[in-house]
Amino acid sequence: MTNESIPEIIKLLKEQYKRFEEPIVSRIAYERNPFKVLIATIISLRTKDAVTKEASLKLLKKASTPREILKLSATEIEKLIYPAGFYKTKALTILNVCDTLINDYAGNVPDDIDELMKLKGVGRKTANLVVTLGFGKLGICVDTHVHRISNRFGYVNTKTPDATEFALRDKLPQKYWIVYNDLLVSYGQNLCKPISPFCSRCVISGLCERVGVERSR
């Protein structure tokens, strides 16, 4: 697949996006509050979106700033974000991140990927999501859906999400960088499943090379 197909793919995916429930981190991002985006993204790791939604909203309703969260104990945070995956570890990560933000960044979330990755538990995916959705700056967030589907399209040929991010930075037109994650995550959650994707219902099946697809519905 070449860049000539990308405008049509983005157009079709945007039309489909309206049919699906928007990812919770994207909805939280409407507030343009980088801290809330950061916390919701940490909670979302290895957790289904419905669970992330409930856990994030409960925690952020109770405490929505680093100082407010630091008033909570790890046990209190655990109870608020349960049953998010690895909720005990995430509770400690959230406390550590808030402590670092207070001590090293005057309570503010940095808007730089490298600075964000200095925070405990923050990798490139989370850092890119905070930069793009929290600050509206250019970045490409690559999670398992974006990595899988970009390779399935035949648009990139990579082995890891990090490699996919850098391949996309070289190839994907910048005007699509921010929206690309939301569109592919939503599509991956609803139709382009890891195993046996719904190719018969896919609006971009004619543009997709279906790399690695052995069985579909």
Q: Which residues are catalytic?
A: 125, 143
d(CA 125, CA 143): 6
The single residue listed with the structure tokens 């429930």 is: 21
Q: Which helix (H) or strand (E) holds 163?
A: helix 161-171
DSSP SS3 for 186: helix
Q: How far apart are CA 82 and CA 100, in angstroms?
A: 23
CA dist 202 and 9 (Å) reads 11
197 preceded by cis ω (within 30°)? no
